[in-house]
Amino acid sequence: MSAAGRGLTRLSAHEMARGLRAGDFSARELVDAHLDLAHATDHGLHAWLFLDDPRAHARAEDADRRLAEARRQGPAALAALPPLLGIPVGLKDLVVTRGQPSTAGSRILRGFVGPFDAHIAERIDAAGGVVLGKTNMDEFAMGSSTEHSAWGPTGNPWDLGRVPGGSSGGSAAAVAAYHCAVAIGTDTGGSIRQPATMCGVVGMKPTYGRVSRYGIIAFASSLDQVGPFGRDVRDAAALLQTVAGRDDRDSTSSPLAVPDYLDGLPDDDDRAASVLRGLRLGLPREYFVAGMEPGVGARVREAVAALEGAGAEIVDVSLPHTDYGLATYYIIAPAEASANLARYDGIRFGHSLRDGDVLANYLATRGSGFGPEVKRRIMLGTYALSAGYYDAYYVKAQKVRTLIKADFDAAFERVDAIVAPTSPTVAFPFGARLQDPVAMYLSDACTLPVNAAGLPGLSVPCGLSEGLPVGLQVIGRAWDEARILRIGRAYEAITADADWRALEPSSLPALDDPSTEPPRLPGAASPA
């Protein structure tokens, strides 16, 4: 692709919006630049499962018409345009969209074409965002590495031999590799924040209920939450602004008014950093878990020191039930998954084998359609819900969940927000944890409690360890997304001149080489 086209992909979403309004380039040119790059380089990354060029072109031309009309009406009309108008967006492959495939990374949904649009897809379309296609993911969002996709793993743009994190690894990798400006992920136990840190981008899990789950293929309904990826905080805030808000089709969707998340996120670094003065930030000792890599711990403590140097007060806090978060999550989430995934029976939609009686067809369909991690969690969840074990496991886990939430409530009586590591490690090599599910589950040790408590969490890049990205997590009170976005933007401002901020993912040159092999798990054949 041309140098000019590649240059367009390097702009932030808010820079793209400014250029579109100024007429520096068209939405069609912007979308073509991203599609060209994705088609040219995804062979070695596998961030995308589906790219829809015709639909993206049509949406881009609609955006150009809206821009042209606003220019005719004058500056006020241009200023009133949605921030996402004409901006390329990626959707995780569990967002249902009319007329497009949505497989949730699973063979059991091979061939399923959406009959309607998810609420967030409607919102993005109404705002003029241009959806390029669907991104790769762990099957039914069950995983921490995007190695559990039925269609093969996604590579990390910083090192193609390592995972991008999961389960929203395709979205995180697509943003990091400049294939799209922003992307949608879902976070059940860390599945936005953890891949964000491993790919060196910004990712946010909003408060449970802030974004409608209507049209989102479910994993664990009391934990799942939709959220944004961006290359900086302002971009993530713009996407969250677009999709947040009440939806009557989702009874868990909050009726609370959505604030202007972009307000308080100025371009000027000095103004952005000023919010830190007098802010009380809690640092929980329990989040520096056993097994945390020294480089990760060092980068996070350096980030906390930078916040303190800019005027924040750092307060030691304790979240004593953190150690129970992993066990609690892996009772509640599989239990809800076993119920949600019962609908995939080979009769109503998706993959189906029909060579025997009803029971034989059901067993054959699910046996061949689900991958090993999904089967493992269905079995765990069914056991936890079974007669004689429901009270001992599921009910007890829900009680511990309440205690985890109470820990956060107590901490927030003393502090305005909490800062902590996002992941205890940097991105790990393919296959390193596939034979040890517990080690894989520990990847989310720093993110799981936030989901259990239903709170918002933001991951922002805070440097490199051994050449790979590290993330700082900012956790806020329920419905306090605006504050933690301001803290994230302030951290960007005070580290704007850091050398690591000027670096691009180190494996991007390899993606430009047509001979680069697609990502493969050790010993795995090509995905069917």
Q: Tell me the C-alpha distance between 15 and 253, whole Å.
A: 31
Structure token digits, residue 171: 């979205």
Among 92, 106, 254, 338, the one annotated catalytic = 92
Structural contact between residues 229 and 150, judged by C-beta atoms closer than 8 angstroms:
no
Q: What is the DSSP letter of 134?
A: E
Peptide bond into 443 cis (omega under 30): no
Select from 467, 508, 516 the least CA-distant residue to 176.
508
Task: Establish whether 396 is a catalytic residue.
Answer: no
Structural contact between residues 303 and 472, judged by C-beta atoms closer than 8 angstroms:
yes
Task: Establish whether 191 is a catalytic residue.
Answer: yes
Structure token digits, residue 485: 């976005």
Three-state DSSP state, 463: strand
DSSP code per residue over 200-256: TSEEEEPPTTSB--TTBPPS-TTT--EEEEESSHHHHHHHHHHHBS--TT-TTS--S
Bridging pattern class, strands 48-51 and 130-135: antiparallel
Among 106, 149, 167, 465, the one annotated catalytic = 167
Q: Tell me the C-alpha distance between 182 and 176, whole Å.
A: 9
The CB density around residue 36, as the number of other CB atoms within 10 Å, is: 18
Q: Tell me the C-alpha distance between 433 and 431, whole Å.
A: 6
Q: Which residues contact 356 (CB under 8 A, 6 or more apart)?
A: 364
Helix axes 13-22, 27-41, angle to 10 degrees: 140
Among 191, 212, 254, 507, the one annotated catalytic = 191
Task: Establish whether 92 is a catalytic residue.
Answer: yes
Q: Tell me the C-alpha distance between 1 and 117, whole Å.
A: 32
Three-state DSSP state, 190: coil
Q: Tell me the C-alpha distance between 104 and 106, whole Å.
A: 5
Residues designated as active site:
92, 167, 191
